[in-house]
Amino acid sequence: MDITPREVIELEARHIAPTYRRPPIVFERGEGVWLYDAEGKAYLDFVAGIAVNALGYGHPEMLATLEAQARRLIHVSNLYHTVPHVLLARDLCESSFADRVFFCNSGTEANEGALKFARKWARVRSGHEEKYEIVAFSRAFHGRSMGALAVTANEKYRTPFEPLVPGVRWATFNDLESARRVIGPRTAAVIVEPVQGEGGVFPATREFLEGLRALCDEHGAALIFDEVQCGLGRTGTLWAYEQYGVAPDIMTLAKPLGGGLPIGAILMTEEIADVLAPGDHGSTFAASPLVTAVARTVFRTICQPDFLDHVRRVGAYLGERLHELARRFPALVKEVRGLGLMWGLELADGLQPSDVVEAGYRHGLVVAPTGHNTVRLVPPLIVQAEHVDTAVAALEAVFEHVGRAGGKSSA
Ligand SMILES: Cc1ncc(COP(=O)(O)O)c(C=O)c1O
């Protein structure tokens, strides 16, 4: 490489918009569940591009599809039929509640489209212009565009950009009574993550999602599940909603679907799709043959019963090891939450997730902060028990160090 890590960091400081605070590491390549920086140091990756790289790095079938499809056809536009587009849509529908799919490029874009579709459906179906409200929840994260941000709770993300899209009403996550107070005849849609990710890894309760389903049915509102982070095998079932026995009317997907390539999807019932017409929505790059072909390989790999069994087994093991860690460091870890391969360690008051994340890099482990005070672990779904042991050993070393530095005793 003809550029040094220091030069990369200097160029970033000069030319990249300052919307991220990046560590002084330049990642250069990946292999399996390992990342390597420009100096060749190995890091065990328990972030996976924020729950994106489900098959890790360099997955042979994914690479083979990528290469073959790139040679055949990369992009022609949504103006035309292409083969991988419809095959991926058929696979997604056959394995879920959905009848139809709209593809896009990201989770934000999927949620933006989902809100549009739900509003149109609610208006057309009810015949009432005023049926446009969207109900969203505390700690929710649905993206950064004006519509998706309008249903995202974090004030820090919202305030500088207000006014956002109007018509949003708020309730408390996992508090059905609070939802009952705001869902009514004007509600077009309720949008919720079955397992909140950016909010700090909080699984919904069964009663909460069941109750939201009933309230949506009662008031003719669409139930939207945002499975951008928790969908596609992350929680140990293909869809997180399967664990709750509650199906939505619309579901949004993104992160892992392209195995690292950008793709989002809005899955919907026939009833929702019925109100849509040519011109209602569109996206230039969406559903390209290249990305949908790769996504189909990723999807068909994740769908295998053995693959999902593996996620459940290793996920349960990771959960056990994290609970053990929390018992060993009760002054540092307040709570362990998660399911499948989506876990959060809530830290004790006064401890910053960034302290743990930065110490993690020194011990060759990549983890990320989420919520206010939580460290998130979302490794590639191909992670093995031995990697879990390595990660937990690194976290032990990190907590020893952080505990000593902060004067908090471990056990
Ligand atoms: C639940 C959820 N929805 C939506 C998004 C936004 O997705 P993207 O960053 O691909 O636009 C995210 C991203 O973290 C997410 O976790």
pLDDT digits (tens, 9 = 90+) for 237-247: 999 999 999 99
**Nearest atom (ligand 1) to Cα of 198:** 16
pTM for the predicted model, two decimal places: 0.97
Average pLDDT estimate for 4-21: 97
pLDDT (0 to 100) of residue 1: 62
| Per-residue pLDDT at 405 exceeds 80 | no
238 close to 308: Cβ distance less than 8 angstroms: yes
Statement: 73-303 belongs to CATH 1.10.287.810: no
Average pLDDT estimate for 14-28: 97
* C-alpha to C-alpha distance for 344 and 323, rounded to whole angstroms: 11
Q: Is 143's C-beta closer than 6 angstroms to any atom of ligand 1?
A: yes
- Say how many Å lie between the CA of residue 404 and the centre of ligand 1: 35
Average pLDDT estimate for 229-256: 98
Q: What is the pLDDT of residues 309-337, one digit of tens each?
A: 999 999 999 999 999 999 999 999 999 99
| Per-residue pLDDT at 408 exceeds 90 | no
187 close to 131: Cβ distance less than 8 angstroms: yes
- Say how many Å lie between the CA of residue 127 and the centre of ligand 1: 32
pLDDT (0 to 100) of residue 411: 45
CATH architecture of residue range(s) 5-59+305-406: Alpha-Beta Complex (3.90)
* C-alpha to C-alpha distance for 227 and 213, rounded to whole angstroms: 16
**Nearest atom (ligand 1) to Cα of 109:** 11
* C-alpha to C-alpha distance for 34 and 42, rounded to whole angstroms: 6
pLDDT (0 to 100) of residue 402: 85
Q: Where are the domains of the chain?
A: 5-59+305-406, 73-303
190 close to 223: Cβ distance less than 8 angstroms: yes
Residue 178, judged by CB atoms within 10 A of its CB (0-12, 13-18, 19+), counts as: middle
- Say how many Å lie between the CA of residue 107 and the centre of ligand 1: 5
Q: Is 106's C-beta closer than 6 angstroms to any atom of ligand 1?
A: yes
CB burial readout 34-70, b (16+ within 10 A) else e: bbebbeeeebbbbbbbebbbbbbbebeebeebbeebe
> What are the CA-CA distances from residue 335 to residues 53, 110, 329, 380 (Å)?
26, 32, 11, 23
Q: Is 373's C-beta closer than 6 angstroms to any atom of ligand 1?
A: no
- At 407, is the pLDDT very low, low, confident or very high (cuts 50, 70, 90)? low
Q: What is the pLDDT of residues 155-207, one digit of tens each?
A: 999 999 999 999 999 999 999 999 999 999 999 999 999 999 999 999 999 99
Average pLDDT estimate for 36-52: 97
Mean pLDDT check: name the lowest of 115-124, 132-141, 397-406: 397-406
Q: How far is CA 378 from the centre of its chain?
A: 10
200 close to 371: Cβ distance less than 8 angstroms: yes
122 close to 156: Cβ distance less than 8 angstroms: no
* C-alpha to C-alpha distance for 8 and 185, rounded to whole angstroms: 54
End-to-end CA distance of the chain: 46
| Per-residue pLDDT at 404 exceeds 90 | no
- Say how many Å lie between the CA of residue 401 and the centre of ligand 1: 32
* C-alpha to C-alpha distance for 310 and 385, rounded to whole angstroms: 10
**Nearest atom (ligand 1) to Cα of 148:** 4
| Per-residue pLDDT at 298 exceeds 50 | yes
Q: How far is CA 34 from the centre of its chain?
A: 20
334 close to 347: Cβ distance less than 8 angstroms: yes
**Which residues, 6+ apart, have CB-to-CB distance to 66 below 8 Å?**
261, 290, 293, 294
Q: Is 346's C-beta closer than 6 angstroms to any atom of ligand 1?
A: no
Count the alpha carbons within 13 Å of 24 in the hemisphere toward its beta carbon. Answer: 7
* C-alpha to C-alpha distance for 70 and 85, rounded to whole angstroms: 14
The rounded percent of the chain whose pLDDT value lies above 90 is 96
Q: Is 241's C-beta closer than 6 angstroms to any atom of ligand 1?
A: no
Probe residue for ligand 1, chosen from 142, 157, 250 as the CB with the greatest number of ligand atoms within 8 Å: 142
Question: Tokens standing for 324?
Answer: 């053990």
* C-alpha to C-alpha distance for 135 and 199, rounded to whole angstroms: 17
